[in-house]
Amino acid sequence: MLIIGVVGAGTMGSGIAQVAIAAGETVKLFDPVAEASLRGRDMIKKNLNFLVDKKKLTSDESSDIFSRLDIINSLSDLASCDLVIEAIVENESVKKDLFKNLESIVSPEVILATNTSSISITALSNELEYPGRLVGMHFFNPAPRMKLIEVVKGLRTSDAHIDYIAKLVKRWGKAPVITKSTPGFIVNRVARPFYGEALRVLMEFGTDHASLDNIIRECGGFPLGPCQLMDLIGLDVNLSVTQSVYEATAFDPRYAPSLLQQELVRAGKLGRKSGEGFYTYPVNDSDLDIINTIKKDELGSYRVRFIKNASIESLIARLTAAGINLVETARDPNIATLALTDGRTATQRAYDESISNLVLIDLCMNFKTTQRIAVSHSDQCDPIAVTQIIDALKSTGCKVTVIQDIAGMIVARTVAMLANEAADLVHQRITTPNEVDMAMTLGTGYPIGPLLWADQIGLKNISEILKHLYEHYGSSRYRTSPLIQRKSITNQKFHGAQ
């Protein structure tokens, strides 16, 4: 049994303390504001009582766990600790001052840990007498429920300390991912395109925020849409993380903050906590789906050409089962043509490939089971052809959302950019494919790790989407990761057999 010190008794600090005492450790919890320490203690007690009510713990087990919590009144009371975890305000200078004070209290072999979500571990340790003792332990909120912990290594952090902390958090029932200290670490860096691409789509009036969220959730399989999630996190908090990563990466265009998000924050529209963000709370759900224009028994008279792609084979099977007359080739140049997006706008692709009536469909997590499909069409497309394809898709039982003709549509550009960001972390040896995928599924609830998803789509397809986005926008924001370029050329994968 270890003695763990936790500094900061807010939601995160008390959550970390609960994790440690539940794992059998003794915890000394300190907050410079005495009332905060008591609130933290009461929060832990309330959480344990909830687990008793849910039959997850017995009353005796809860009492035994709670008995290992010690509220202390001075930093000096942490002198006997084996490990001290900081969970205070996200401010570099304040954290540095705390660690210098702690170093004068605890023995040299004691590990100091910070729960920072984005501040450089190297920077936090550079004024310590023993900089190798400082480790990042980024818990996710709520700490008792979230499995993931990012174990972060600064430039001078001891490898032995990293290994020790990784083994310790496993014993606590958590899933550690080891990462070098890089802007945003793994989760907050890889997740930036999830918000950034959504904001760009909205800036281009590609669709409205509710439809965008519907598409990301129901087509992409994500638990929440980007606008819902930004409202939940707080638009100001989300913007602050983006700004931090942007500045820390020497203003890389990939992480450039959105003017739209900045305006919402300036207006005080911060999301749920202010009552209004992208949505006004309480939310009045609305669905902006296209209405069927014909009877199902007329669908058999439609002929739809499709451009073959392995990703949509199950959708083609659904259309065939619904009685749609599908052809791969057609002499009639005016026939409605359906294709999976490759990153080009429908208008550009129709021009490049001399297709009169082109309708694109967005990527779906699973075309066999999806209940929603997003489509866009070229400017040259006959409205009748658009209607035919919409009704054909609706015949499978899917809702259809029509968006503007934007490059990469919504899910495809988002997934490609998530995979691109994850690939760069692997390329730069900040982390591994397994760890980045585990971090994104456990830390953000993504339906699948971005690199495994890229493997399934095919790295050549991901590379093609990114190439077309880069050509369309002319921005280095969409530059393809060198690792994706290499693997796509040799038909390799990030996971499993090549």
Annotated catalytic sites, by residue? 117, 138, 150, 188
CA distance 339 to 337: 7
Using CA atoms, how far apart are residues 470 and 472, in angstroms rounded to an integer?
A: 5
* Gap between the terminal Cα atoms of the chain: 45
Per-residue CA distances from 282 to 8, 230, 269, 270, 285 (Å): 32, 16, 14, 14, 9
Q: What is the C-alpha separation between 28 and 8, in angstroms, rounded? A: 11
Distances in Å between the Cα of 335 and the Cα atoms of 225, 385, 386, 388 are 35, 7, 10, 10
Radius of gyration of the chain (CA): 26
What is the C-alpha separation between 404 and 32, in angstroms, rounded?
53
Q: Which residues of 142-151 are buried (b: 16+ CB within 10 A; e: fewer)?
A: ebbebebbbb
Name the strand (E) or helix (H) holding 30. strand 26-30
Report the phi/psi class of residue 135: left, alpha or beta, with left for phi > 0 and alpha for psi in -120 to 50. Answer: beta
Cis ω for the linkage preceding 450 (within 30 of 0): no
Distances (CA, A) of 415 to 6, 41, 133, 454: 38, 41, 37, 8
**Range list of H helices, 215-289:** 226-233, 235-248, 259-266
Q: Phi then psi for 84, rounded to 5 degrees?
A: -120, 125
CA distance 17 to 29: 7
- For tokens 């009332």, the residue is 35
What crossing angle do the helices spanning 482-489 and 459-473 adopt, rounded to 10°? 130
Residue 254 identity (one-letter amino acid)? R
Strands 148-153 and 134-139: antiparallel
- Interacting residues of 124 by C-beta distance below 8 A, sequence separation 6+: 92, 95, 96, 99, 114, 116, 134, 154
CA distance 37 to 286: 43
Nearest to 251 by CA among 426, 429, 477: 477
Q: Token pair for residue 196?
A: 């950034």
